[in-house]
A and B are shown apart, each in its own frame.
Chain A
Amino acid sequence: MEAIIILFSTGIVSLFIAMTRKPILVLLTALIGVTVTAIVMSINWYTPMQWVKYDGIETDYFTIIYGATATLFSFLFILIGYSKFSKEVYHTGDYIAILIFSLCGALCLFSFTDLFMFFIGLEILSIPMYVMAGSNKKNLLSSEAAMKYFFTGSFATGVLLFGIACVYGALGTFQLKEMSEAIAAMKNSSALLQVGMILILAGFLFKVGAVPFHFWGPDVYSGSPNVVTGFMATVVKLAAFCGFLRLFQLGFNGLDGFFVEILIAVSVLTMFVGNLSALRQTKLKRLIAYSSITHVGYALICLLVKNEHTPAYLWTYFFAYGFSIVALITVSMIVNDENDDIDRYKAFARTNPFAGFVMILALLSLAGVPPLVGFFGKYLVFSSAIEQYPVLIIIALINSGIAIYYYLKVILTAISKDDNAEKSTVSPLHAIVLSISMFGLILGGFVTFWVN
Chain B
Amino acid sequence: MTNSSYSDYFPILIQAGVALGFVLAVLWVTHFLGPRLKSKVKNSNWECGIESDGNARFPVSIRYFMAAILFVLFDVEVIFFYPYAVNFKELELEGLYAVILFVAFFLTGFFYVLKKGALEWEK
Minimum CB–CB distance for A199 against chain B, Å: 16
> Within B1-50, which residues are at the interface with A (CB < 8 Å)?
1-4, 6, 9
**A228 → B minimal CB distance (Å):** 21
Docked complex Cα distance between A16 and B108 (Å): 10
Contact of A132 with B by CB under 8 A: no
| B89 within 8 Å of A (CB atoms) | no
Asked if residues B1 and A173 are in contact (CB atoms below 8 Å), the reply is yes
Name the interface size band of chain B: 10 to 19
Which B residues between 80 and 120 are near A, CB-CB below 8 angstroms?
108, 111-112, 115
Inter-chain contact A16/B2, CB cutoff 8 Å: no
Say whether A12 faces chain B, with CB atoms less than 8 Å apart. yes
Q: Decide: A169 and B2 in contact? CB cutoff 8 A.
A: no
Contacts of A185 in B (CB 8 A): 2
What 0/1 pattern do residues 1 to 34 of A give for CB contact below 8 A with B? 0000000000010011001000000000000000
Are B2 and A171 in contact, with the CB atoms below 8 A?
yes
* Count of residues in A whose CB is under 8 Å from the partner chain: 12
- Contacting residues, chain B, for A16 (C-beta < 8 A): 111-112, 115
A12 touches B1 (CB 8 A): no
In the complex, are the beta carbons of A15 and B112 less than 8 A apart? yes
Asked if residues A173 and B115 are in contact (CB atoms below 8 Å), the reply is no
Partner of A169 from the list B3, B4, B108 (CB cut-off 8 Å) is: B4
* Shortest distance from the beta carbon of B49 to any chain A beta carbon, whole Å: 34
A390 at the interface (CB under 8 A from B): no
Q: Is A182 an interface residue (CB 8 A)?
A: yes
Q: Is the CB of A169 within 8 A of B9?
A: yes
Chain A: which residue is nearest B108 at the CB level? A12
Interface of A, helix, strand, loop or mixed by DSSP: helix
Interface residues of A in 173-215 (CB under 8 A from B): 173, 182, 185, 192
Assembly CA distance A176 to B64 (angstroms): 44
Residues of B within 8 A of A182 (CB): 2
Query: Which one of B3, B4, B6, B108 has the highest number of Cβ atoms from chain A below 10 Å of its Cβ?
Result: B4
- Chain A residues within 8 Å of B4, by CB: 169-170, 172
- Alpha-carbon distance A16/B115, docked complex (angstroms): 9
The residue from A15, A19, A172, A192 contacting B1, defined by CB atoms under 8 A apart: A172
Q: Which residues of A contact B115 (CB under 8 A)?
A: 16, 19
A172, B9: Cβ atoms closer than 8 Å: no
- Distance in Å from the Cβ of B15 to the closest Cβ of chain A? 15
Q: Cα distance A188–B50 when bound, in Å?
A: 69
- B interface footprint on A138-179 (CB within 8 Å = 1, 0 otherwise): 000000000000000000000000000000011111000000
Contact flags B47-84 to A (C-beta < 8 A → 1, else 0)? 00000000000000000000000000000000000000
- Which A residues lie within 8 Å of B111 (CB)? 16
**Smallest Cβ-Cβ distance to A91: which chain B residue:** B116
> In whole angstroms, how far apart are the Cα atoms of A182 and B9 in the complex?
19
Cα separation A110 to B36 with both chains bound (whole Å): 65
A170 — which chain B residues lie within 8 A by C-beta?
4
The CA-CA distance from A171 to B112 in the complex, in Å, is 43
Q: Is the CB of B9 within 8 A of A173?
A: no
Minimum CB–CB distance for B3 against chain A, Å: 8
Inter-subunit contact A172/B112 (CB<8 Å): no
Question: A172 — nearest CB in chain B belongs to which residue?
Answer: B1
Q: Given that A16-B115, A19-B115 are contacting pairs, would A173 and B2 also be in contact in the complex, using a CB cutoff of 8 Å?
A: yes
Which chain A residues in 42-84 approach chain B with CB under 8 Å? Answer: none
Rounded to whole Å, the gap between the CB of B55 and the closest CB of chain A is 19
Shortest Cβ-Cβ A-B pairs, 7 listed: A172-B1, A172-B2, A182-B2, A19-B115, A172-B4, A15-B112, A12-B108
With A16-B111, A16-B115, A19-B115 given, can you name 15 additional A-B contacts, CB distance below 8 Å? A12-B108, A15-B112, A16-B112, A169-B4, A169-B9, A170-B4, A171-B2, A172-B1, A172-B2, A172-B3, A172-B4, A173-B1, A182-B2, A185-B2, A192-B6
